[in-house]
A and B are shown apart, each in its own frame.
Chain A
Amino acid sequence: MRFGNIVVAVDGSEVSEGALDHAVYLAVDGHASLTGIFVVDSKWPDFIGNDWQSARGARQGFLDYVRWEQEEQAQLARAQFSLATHGMDRAVFTVHAGDPASVLLAQSANADVLIASRRVFQISGRPSLKSLAATLSKKASCPLMLFP
């Protein structure tokens, strides 16, 4: 089976290596375009919404710190994607902000296949991201390949 437009979720950790390698293999084999996606999780303010008494400086300091950590992770993801797609013409890496499930679903809406690890984005994410793969399985509008 050949695909013309492949989307892969990349988080810069070894977890996403298997999915990325397979996406590159499919893209080279089918002369397809390959889009790597990293999502900066924007749900953190909501996640700590139950905390009513933190000083504003403490709350914002924490959110800035989380943002900084995720931006560093995005750089690792970019480097991981660049290394894996070295020499490929039609490979693009993009960084988005939002809820990881919603972003991946929206960005893969017109793709021929979405490829991801079951544990992708857990490295910098909230506990509910454990169910990211299950959400993608239920809601993806294109074929989905999940890796361990």
Chain B
Amino acid sequence: MSSGSPGFFRQLPSALPGLVLIVVTMMIIRIWIEPWMAHTKIFGMSKPLTDAFHLNYILLGIMSGMFYRNVIFGGRIPEMLVDGFRLSRLMIKTGIILLGSLYTFSAIIKLGVTAIALISAFVVLTVLLVLWLGKAFGLDRSMTAVLANALSICGVSAAVATSPAVEAKASHVAYAIATILGFGVLTMFISPFIGRELGLSSMQYGAWIGTGILNTGQVLASALAYDPMVGPGTALAVAEVWNVMRVIAIPFAVFAVTLWYWAGKDAVDSHGNKQSLGSLLVEKFPVFVIGFMAMVFLTSLGAFGDVGVESGHSPSAAIMSLRVTMQWIFGFGLVGLGGFIDFDELRQAGGAPFRLGLLVGATKYIVALLIVLLLRQYFV
């Protein structure tokens, strides 16, 4: 069962049809549909799609991907297009690396201290809550371990990273993933509404969704849905610092939960290799985080000119073109990501993992919002 990722250049010819569909879709959205939405009148209301429904190119992009898969293609992406849709993962990783150009080290440390404090508190408390609820719901240790990491760090990636180490059954993991994705899709669409109704600043909104939304793909989408601009101080810039902190936590959390799992096991399983932290870091640490930090380093050195935050000057031409590039890359990537949201899988999720996931996910989402509201003077 190969992941089908033989390398970018070898994959490119087979990816072209899917890429063309993604690129054309996003171009139509940005060149025709967005301007049309910004000027149209429906039932006497001026610009209802943007003002009332807060639709923008990001939400339209994800909805297009979901529409292609679930309506036009009848539940599966055709073989001819699937490689192109898979490349959306690479696009988003590239976008995140380029996002490093929004920050200097001093800015990232300023944001990072708050992020580390909030993320650490939420990761530890969520893990403890899930371990306790897992027992109360009668889930087995492996399922509880997967849910603990998936609900506390970053959804699907954490579930994927944890499952083999704790011998979780694939069918259980599938239900956990479907629950997380379903909850994520819901929060991705409702968060911008809530944020606007509460009058949250970009910093407050980014801190909230960076902590409260389970799956990091949906953190990205929700941030851009709130504020489609890419620049320092936008919801995206804040949420992604939170996101990167969560991603960095994956190998450590896998290690901790694996220790918990094996501590409660009587026998050593045939596949029960208790991996060291070192091997987990090599195997599970996402390399794009290093790219992101390298970009922050280069930006701090002034390699791309003035970032336009601390100096008060306009950003350099290089920085401006990087930001425009990022908007397009995220737009393309999120059309592709929408193509992997299968309503049939989400609709049929259920059972105890679903109930526990929903309970913990909703608790985390609400508590994160309450904390941000309570401490809103610190998030400005």
How many A-B contacts at CB < 8 Å in the complex?
136
Is the Cβ of A56 less than 8 Å from the Cβ of B348? no
Tell me whether B3 is interfacial, beta carbon within 8 Å: yes
* CB < 8 Å neighbour of B160 from A42, A46, A59, A123: A59
Digit string of A38-80 for contact with B (CB within 8 Å is 1, else 0)?
A: 0010101111111111111111111111111110000000000
* CB < 8 Å neighbour of A47 from B155, B174, B215, B337: B174
Tell me whether B269 is interfacial, beta carbon within 8 Å: no
Query: Do A69 and B1 form a contact, CB below 8 Å, given A62-B164, A127-B350?
Result: no
* CB < 8 Å neighbour of B156 from A42, A48, A68, A130: A48
Specify the main secondary structure of chain B where it touches its partner. Answer: helix
Is the Cβ of A128 less than 8 Å from the Cβ of B4? no
Query: Do A56 and B3 form a contact, CB below 8 Å, given A66-B170, A69-B170, A125-B171?
Result: yes
Digit string of B226-262 for contact with A (CB within 8 Å is 1, else 0)?
A: 0000000000000000000001001000000000000
Question: Which of B160, B340, B346 has its CB near the most chain A CB atoms (within 10 A)?
Answer: B160
A46 to B86, CA, bound (A): 9
Is the Cβ of A131 less than 8 Å from the Cβ of B286? no
Residues of A bordering B, CB below 8 Å: 40, 42, 44-70, 99, 122-128, 130-131
Residues of B bordering A, CB below 8 Å: 1-5, 75-77, 82, 85-86, 88-89, 92-93, 96, 154-157, 160-161, 163-164, 169-171, 174-175, 177-178, 181, 215-217, 247, 250, 271, 282-288, 333, 337, 339-342, 344-350
25 contacts between A and B (CB under 8 A): A45-B1, A45-B4, A47-B174, A48-B177, A50-B217, A50-B340, A51-B155, A51-B156, A53-B217, A55-B286, A58-B157, A58-B160, A61-B284, A65-B163, A65-B164, A69-B170, A122-B171, A123-B171, A126-B174, A126-B178, A127-B174, A127-B350, A128-B348, A130-B348, A131-B348
